[in-house]
Structure 1
Amino acid sequence: MAKAETEPTVTQDGEAPKKTWKRHVWDSLDKSPEERHFVYKLDLLLLTFGCLGFFTKFLNQTNLTNAFVSGMKEDLNMFGNELNYAMTAFTVGYIIGEVPSNILLTRVRPSIYIPALQVVWTGLTLCSCAVTNTTGLYVMRFLIGLAEAGYYPGLQYMIGSWYRKDEIAKRACILNASGSIAMLFSGFLMTAATRLGGRGGLPGWKWLFIIDGIISFPIAIASFIFLPDLPQTASRRFFTDEEIALAQKRMALEERKTREPFTAAKVKKVVTSWHIWLLSFYYIFISGTGGTPIFPQYLKLHKNPTYTVQQINLYPTGVFAVQAVSAVAYAWISDTMLNGRRWPILLFGATLNLITWVSLAAWYIPEGWKWTCYYLAGQHVGLSGIAFTWANEICTDDTEERAIVLATMNTAVGVVTAWLPLLVWQQVEAPQYRKGFITASSLGAICLVLIPIIKVLQDKEIVK
């Protein structure tokens, strides 16, 4: 069963640590020298290379939109809903791959499997510069989605397999922030790529995909070398026997179970538990509004003033800055000020989401507030790491369930975003997107109901 949110973390010796102001700066500063050194080494390997890989994943994912508004639309004759279809193709591949990938991750070495995914999507990204029509683009985006599917839920599963309760939210949110930084960087990268337009007979948007591949490939190769496995299968290349024993003891103290066989009883337990259903539905309602370039489209279609291609690429980068800052801020507040409680942050974020989407649904609001809402809409991404942290903690007593639930949460969002944009975020209705903003407002309202329900059910399990 899940542990109480306010239960104090214990040291490797089984005693409650003495808490000082240092934990508000970084959690490992309050730990013993041995454990502090171990966590530092773990951060250097898992967190660093996980974030670098996630950076390249989101760099590629975001650059489709940047390429679209920077010449691809005209070159591939994408004047209808073709951008929606390309995004849907990616999402379908993502949906198909996520759950099988995370199940496989509980049985194979992550240090081989996850970097292999990176190599595949890097190669496909490079091939994207060769597409000459929308059919080729759809096929390429589907394959890239399939390759990228296992990365994010896989990294969240690994974070939940190595870190303790007072450590996990920061790492999960730092991982999310690295994706937001990639999206922030993407706008500047596109601005630079446009200056290469014409070199080698290629337009700037094709150079963007080439640059993506050049950035991603060395990170994928380095991940083969430095990314660790799980505590039960960790290599002695980077960790000593004592550190591996410490890692396993840390997880035992958190009541985080090790691998068990997949049986009919286990599958039944997973699919009949409220964990997989309510957590997945919640994640749909908090993340189902993403994936639509509403701000760039607003700028592209804006009149008086008319914005340049460079401005269209650069101004929305502020949204990604909000994503990164909110992810880190939410993690620190949840871990320190709220003593490990996740639901208050999620409830606050859901309320802010609702205010933002309702304002944009009204549309005829002051221009300054409209821009503010576009930027604030990015904070819902900052909640993602907290949501996955909560899921890791709720499912702490079953590693297979934890892997499946984490992947299913992400898959559920993909299932919705595969078709929802085609109905409510249609490119031809830009920039007002009335149906989209009303739908987003409705999903935000449902979140305000689901979060207290999940908290009550979690408390009941703790009592048992």
Structure 2
Amino acid sequence: MASKEDHVVPSDTKAPATSTESTHGSDANPDSVPVSKEVKGTWRSYLWDTFDKSPEERHFLAKLDAVILTLASLGYFIKHLDQVNISSAFVSGMKEDMDLYGNQLNYMTLYWTVGYVIGEIPSNMLLTRVRPSIWIPACEVTWSVLTILLTQCSNATQIYVLRFFIGLAESGFYPGMQYVIGSWYRRDELAKRSCIFHACGSVGSMFSGYLMAAVYRLDGHHGYHGWQWLFIINTVISLPIAAVGFFLMPDVPDVTRAFWLTDAEKELARTRMRHEGRAGRGRGGSYNRATFKKIFTSWHVYALSLLYIFFNNGIGYGGQPAFQLWLKSEGYGVAAVNSLPSIASAVTVFFTLIYAWSSDSVLRGARWPPVVLAGAVHIVLNASLAAWDIPLGWKWACYVLGLMGGGVSGLMFAWAHEICSDNNEERAFVVASMNEMSFVVQAWLPLIIWQQVEAPRYRKGFITMVFLNVGEIGMALLIRFLHHREIAQKARNVSVDA
């Protein structure tokens, strides 16, 4: 007979977890603290999901948030900072200093993307066998060191090589941390943490512009150009953050050895995941023929990956600094070109938090409505920029709001964790596949539709994004239908077994 945990309730029909009745399994430590059941809570849970839980569980989650969210957010901040700094450097003197007047920026993005694509799935598969506290910080140290080596490049080819290996090192971080977050948090907690984590990428983009505007004043100091100082300071910021991860990263509940968690809290973490129906490490799973058959005969990997392909390629201008280059074409100086686009990143952070709170609380776990809303808004924005000859004020609005849908990335990964809850290996694989396959497309699509020589208009790019936004909406609705159908089938199987 199937257990209660085998029946995963659809994420958009379940209320937040709030009561404090103990629900220990038979193998639980008797000293473990109560695990909240999932029942309708008070208004306080709409502000923050721990307010209606037991004091013990609330204390555990406070510690978990303080460490995991800090490590994830700071790590993604430095990762995104090191990822986008090439664009900030490019528009701040590197283009002229290295005579990069062709499509070299496209190829710098391409080589980074190729490295990123190659590493993602193997890295997440490795995380189901190697401790995240070792693997993820090691990746951070590697890309931080490689970033400072960009200061020594004298031609585009050398940058291509380094960008490939930086992408390879960075490939394990975002899907890896999404996997770790999905291993600790329950359904009513997951979207907020995933989205807070993702929002720090936008903060990294904001900071890159401010940092470039500030370090440009160092132009000529010690023989380095201003854009070279950007890479140096990136590494100085990144290395200490990476080093802390070796000591504080808690791994996943089944193998955690975090010194800052008590034995009772470690058991609580495992019990919470059992009641969530989310399989963990050390329960007999492995990457064998049966596992791969389950993965590739299910709709999960295909539909979720396609959703993320539409999303990730329908936002962000293919890695091109479109807003910056438009500002530059309008005659703005280096400081303005680097600082004004940070407004768009701030807007992204604001909407990311709205998506997270509304999905976990107001929408009671539904992930698809914010995805559909963001896609619809982006259709309007990108169609306007494709037309190009629009009022100046509206063009500013289109660029400022142009990344507002980026925050739904966290919701998509939260959705994937819930859909793939019953198999740890599938969950790790699908999360990595979503990110990887989107970058497989991103490796070649910008070379066609986001060519540097067509800046700042990019007509082909904006038109293509409209169709990608339509695809994002369609896939979100299809996944909702398939997930509900799967849940209904599981419910029927439970009834038959009973």
| 1:95 and 2:123 matched | no
Residue 3 (structure 1) shift: 2.5
Q: Choose the corresponding residue for 1:13, options 22, 35, 47.
A: 22
Q: Which runs of 5+ in 2 are unaligned?
A: 1-6, 24-36, 490-498
Q: What is the alpha-carbon distance in structure 2 between the residues aligned to residue 416 and residue 86 of structure 1?
A: 16
Choose from 424, 432, 444 the match for 1:419. 444
Matches of 1:380 and 1:76, distance apart in 2: 35
Equivalent residues of 2:320, 2:452 under 8 A apart: no
Deviation by residue 1:376-418 (Cα, 9 ceiling, x = unmatched): 1111211111111111111111111111111011001111111
Letter of the 1:7 counterpart: K
Aligned residue for 1:119?
A: 141
State yes or no: 1:293 paired with 2:302: no
Superposition pairs of residues 193-208 of structure 1, within 5 angstroms: 193-208=215-230
Which residue of 197, 200, 203 corresponds with 1:181? 203
CA contact (8 A) 2:250 2:258 kept: no
Q: Which AA in structure 2 matches 1:29?
A: F
Question: Equivalent residues in 2 for 1:82-161 (5 A)?
Answer: 82-161=104-183
Secondary structure at the aligned position of 1:221 is classed as: helix
Q: Is 2:407 the partner of 1:402?
A: no
Quote the Cα distance in structure 1 between the aligned partners of 2:303 and 2:208.
34
Match of 2:348 among 300, 306, 323: 323
Match of 1:54 among 52, 73, 76: 76
CA distance in 1, matches of 2:44, 2:14: 19
Note the 1:210-249 alignment, pairs <5 A. Answer: 210-249=232-271
What is the CA RMSD across the aligned residues, in angstroms? 1.2
1:253-300 Cα distance to aligned partner (Å, 9 max, x none) = 110012312220110110121111111111111111332211111111
- Residue identity in the other structure for 1:438: I
Report deviation, 1:445: 1.2
- 1:34-53 aligned at under 5 Å gives the runs 34-53=56-75
* Cα offsets for 1:175-224 (capped at 9, x unmatched): 01111111111111001110111110000000000000000011011111
Determine if contact 1:285/1:447 at 8 Å carries over to the other structure: yes
Distance 1:12 1:374 in 2: 49
Residue in 1 that maps onto 2:496: none
Please, what TM-score do these two structures have when normalized by structure 1?
0.97
TM-score for both structures, normalised by structure 2? 0.91
- Quick check: 1:2–1:395 contact (8 Å CA) kept in 2? no
Corresponding position of 1:367: 392
Separation (CA, whole Å) in 2 of partners of 1:168 and 1:266: 25
More divergent stretch after superposition (12-21 vs 80-89): 12-21
Supply the distance in 2 between the matched residues of 1:59 and 1:382 (Cα, whole angstroms): 17
Partners of 1:300 and 1:326 in 2: CA distance: 27
1:7 deviates by 2.6
Sequence identity (%): 50
| Partner amino acid, structure 1, of 2:328 | K
2:469 corresponds to: 444
Q: Alignment length, in residue pairs?
A: 461
**CA shift at 1:17, angstroms?**
4.7
Deviation, 1:88, is 0.4
Cα deviations by residue, 1:25-49 (Å, 9 ceiling, x for unpaired): 2111111001000001111111111
**Cα shift at 1:79:** 0.3
